[in-house]
Structure 1
């Protein structure tokens, strides 16, 4: 699947660097050529000779190599590749990337490239959870850097938790997806995202606290796996991803109409936080206080149930329909009941009670409800949650 693709592999200085040698082998098995770049710290874990022998290519190490730089080597390296992969991406490398530093060959190549960049973070769990790393990760994701992992597991230091570099097959999958040869190529997926705004008058509206970050990340992850994505989004706090068909809406009724307009689809992911009710007697002008102390009376009407209507289609139903359930208590029970009531295939449930920081935050902790039961995922960034869900969708559609 990677025939004639050229991968520039930057190997950072961490114990997980030993996996980079197997990564070279697996990428070459799929037809790619791999050009290794070693940081000075990486040479304490893998040798240039071993990387060169497995890659069948020269290993690049020194920013000030007279021969290479006479031909502007770091610029050529950064532009000749189809994809730049950083594995392992250490805390130091992530910090340099987020800060725009370029003081060695690896960081200079990353600053000079005009190609997509995929990183596989690997570090001690305390380093991964450090506020500086979280800020750097958010910056990199905002810049469009692709991220795979890290996973939970035992560390070389003896601790257990998130920080292990993703396994080689996972990184290969992410490389294939980044290069547009992913498992969803040729598939059409509908994604809804964000809140809806239900007008009270031209100034005021009813909404909820959804930022749209999770739905946006899901649309991007599906795109990265090769899908054609129709993205129906309410007024979210985050911009829509590039490379997808964006259909902006405001109200639940507009969202229902937009959903119907893009069907049929192979799969549909309803991540939007749609308001259950709208104001039936919304005012055409701004409502004013009259000084009498009397309060306006709002009459409510039920909004269309988009998830249920698509799940119960007799013709043209997507093969896979995924709903979301934001709950504040008894999450698994309520989500399981919702799946049965709506008729969808999966429910992605999360606890958005006060104190979790999930609603509007950068992370999520979900339970996937399917016909086979409940599967609880660890707390992850919303981008990683999206990537895992997109891979599961690809498996289901295969």
Structure 2
């Protein structure tokens, strides 16, 4: 837990009723200090490695302050500076790191090769690979295939170029759905999703799940990065995934600045997992699926909404009510901020099921 508390209205932010902007700003201030310290310590350990420049070990303040989420992932990876980094991860991260150093003015464009060209960059290094962008206006997301987690989730039978092309179309359409469904969903996704790493689609039947199930995740130390496969390409369900992952990241940001749980030893049943979950995990589910419930409740009113929208609303509302009842029965495990959000979600889910 970090030392300082965050801005006020944490429960309203977690419930999606207030802007996450002030919390993100405070998170970045403290995160930058953590990264700078990590990079300074790592300089002594990694100075002889050929890729040390990729982590800006000669300019830790500059690199640590970059608000691009990939910079956060690299900076945080060096917190465990006594543990050797995965060479594959370093190699995969190098193109992005070099692009950010060029943009920050720490490396001359003509001195690097093979780096990525970040959307919106002022300088394009020779031979740089441009990263595509989906969305438009204030809602844009980079499609980044320079990430080591791709290999971990990859299906070698799939063509990644096809995956990126599919995301470019479906992702842009998902942005339109979010804007039409309600400004709060679009605003949260815009604030918390800057980079999308397209995972290759695995056959869900291998792990006992539907064939086209969407798989997604995010990283607590890098709010702004979402990993996701398309599943069955559909802008409505893609929008759901973005809302879901953005909310998970929002919970992580708030939890880093103010306590949400106070007893992590208990295990609680969850409507989303077979095994009992710690209080923090159940709270994540309440927040994320509560946001999904709200999204479907609003999206379902649009004239071209999928026929399944009412079922999605009621299914998520029932799950949220069940999880909230469980959390309230273990109220000692949560702080007042978390309990206020749980109460808000309870009222909202009951209202949704009641037809309001």
Give the TM-score category using the shorter length.
under 0.3
Q: When the two structures are superposed, what TM-score results if normalisation uses the length of structure 1?
A: 0.24
> Larger relative CO (CA 8 A, sep 6+): 1 or 2?
2
Q: When the two structures are superposed, what TM-score results if normalisation uses the length of structure 2?
A: 0.26
